[in-house]
Structure 1
Amino acid sequence: MTFSVRPVADDQWPVVAWLWQDFRHDLASVVHGFPYADGRYRHEWLDEYPSPDRCGYLAWAPHPNTGEDAPVGFALVRGLDTTSRTMQAFFVVPAARRDGLGRRFARDVIGRHRGPWEIPFQHDNAAATTFWRAVASAAWGEAWTETTEPVPGKPHVPPDHWIRTT
């Protein structure tokens, strides 16, 4: 699938907000998440964007019915003003998965920001484990490590995994 990656424009954050709900729905079974009374999933991370130390990207691909560009994924990066970038959120719509678009999208975003990287993901998210290990190997060869760390304030859940460049 052909696609392009573009920084989120000021007027495109509502597009990310729509995709964010799909992202949180996708994670709901992993994090045991319910929508709140207004029907939306938690979104406090998204509310921190845009910001001088954070940015977002949208992946666009031709819509199969209309041919016009349609958003097929987003990436949120924080830590632009620190020593290490963090992939805070990453999502590709289910219909665009399985052909390598996600890996190419992730590598594109990583390539836009030099320096050390951190990529956290949930222990119970088997697809993310496979995905991020493959992305890390493609992006950095053997120059990365994976650790587990307790989730702050949630001692009852399995620790998160963190991939970090070395």
Structure 2
Amino acid sequence: MKKIALFPGSFDPFTKGHQDIVLRGLRLFDEVIIGIGRNARKERYFPLDQMIHLIEEAFQEYPNVRVISYDDLTANVARNEGAKFLLRGLRNTTDFEYENGISQVNRHIYEEIETVFLITSPNLAPISSSIIRDLHRYGQQVDEFLPYKLVNQTV
């Protein structure tokens, strides 16, 4: 049976830290689906279509990586995609506290789902999407933190 993991997040933007989790996840899983969830409470900074395109481009050499967007509960999406695993990255204990609660709820909704946590590589731990958004918003170059180049520096 194929081991499929869903890597859910808002990925606004998708960083080298996220890329690292996906590439390391490929050592554990046959397929990793990067799932960009839509959050009704948050307005995206980078357009969803642009982010999907950039992530697909970053993983074009990996046929076992797919990118989807969704507007549903993550556990439901995992079930519908045939994923028995959720892949999550942890930078610190704050991330763990937050992710632990979510993993319990996902397990309640979809009993067969297991959440697999990977500790972020130390050199990538300081990178967060919110920091990158702030840098970009105020005109700073952010490409060194991303696995792709932002062609249009304005949003």
Higher relative contact order (CA 8 A, sep 6+): 2
Q: Give 1 or 2: higher strand fraction.
A: 1
How does the TM-score come out when normalised to structure 2?
0.32
Q: TM-score, normalised by structure 1?
A: 0.31
| Bigger share in helix | 2
Rg (Cα) greater in structure: 1
